[in-house]
Amino acid sequence: MRVVLLSSRARAGTSEVLAQVRATIARHATVVGEFDVNDTLPPDLKADRAVVIGGDGSIMAALRIFMAHATPVVGVNTGRLGFLAEFDTASLETHATAIFGANPLIRQRMVLAVSVRAADGTTRYEGLAVNDCVVTAGAPFRMIELALRLDGENGPEFLGDGIIIATPVGSTAYNASAGGPIVHPDVEAIVVTPNAAHSLAFRPVVVPAGLAVQAHVVRANEGTTLVVDGHINVSLRVGDTVVAKRHHDMARIVARPDSSYWETLVDKMRWAESPNYRAPGA
């Protein structure tokens, strides 16, 4: 069993966690390489598992890298929330035999293929989004104007702060903060949520995964940007078109056999948590 170990070395406390994780792996597998999540990995690197120490940003970066090799990713959380990270050091040790065995529990997750096409038809950017791609207004923070096309048909043209195009995995991220729906990650769909649209009638929509979503930039600011998974920034200009559609492959995440999506939604996102009511007579 060959394992690649990635970590965010700049994050406080990583070295201690890295030592514990390295020791756990050594009892079950062979580490064939250690890298920072920002490193460029050797093109001939072969591994059966990729263990990532960090937060959701680090795990998303690893999923984008290893998806092409069908390598399952094991997330060990050292971030603030770690919604995608199934393990901490204790649970990694508990489930190590299964994780590094022949048949771990692997969940496949839909990923978006994202591109930016210029007015002259040239492609300015191509990449993958595990969570979402977001067109954001940017400085000087005037409203921008976008025209949507859904599966080749004209949709609404609107003013606002931008648009969020999310996967089911990403529906609990920026999309949820903007009032979009939470979609179970086993559902193959794309969520389209306006960000502060200047309209009383533009509501989020959930569309089939096989449908292509296009956002054409009609009016922009100097700082208008496409943000992919919260980390990749692409400057946008008037005439650009952002295209998001389901990628033909899936990301693979090693899951804990003793946890569920609903448990994570309640424990980490505080789903449907009641207000802090005062006791009667208090």
Distances (CA, A) of 225 to 40, 58, 66, 95, 236: 24, 21, 26, 41, 5
Place of tokens 């204790």: 90
Please tell me which residue in 36, 39, 44, 56 is annotated as part of the active site.
56
Neighbours of 53 (CB within 10 A): 31
Place of tokens 């502060």: 196
Burial bucket for residue 107 (CB in 10 Å: 0-12, 13-18, 19+): middle
Catalytic status, residue 39: no
Q: In sequence order, what are the residues at sequence separation of 6 or more whose Cβ sits closer than 8 angstroms to the Cβ of residue 190?
A: 112, 165, 166, 167, 206, 207, 208, 209, 211, 213, 244, 245, 246
**8 Å CB contact between 214 and 149:** yes
Q: Which amino acid is at 229?
A: D
Place of tokens 């690893």: 62
| Alpha helices for the chain (secondary structure H) | 14-26, 56-66, 89-94, 96-99, 174-177, 261-269
Query: 2-7 and 73-77: which strand pairing?
Result: unpaired
Helix, strand, or coil here: 148? Answer: strand
**Which residues form the catalytic set?**
56
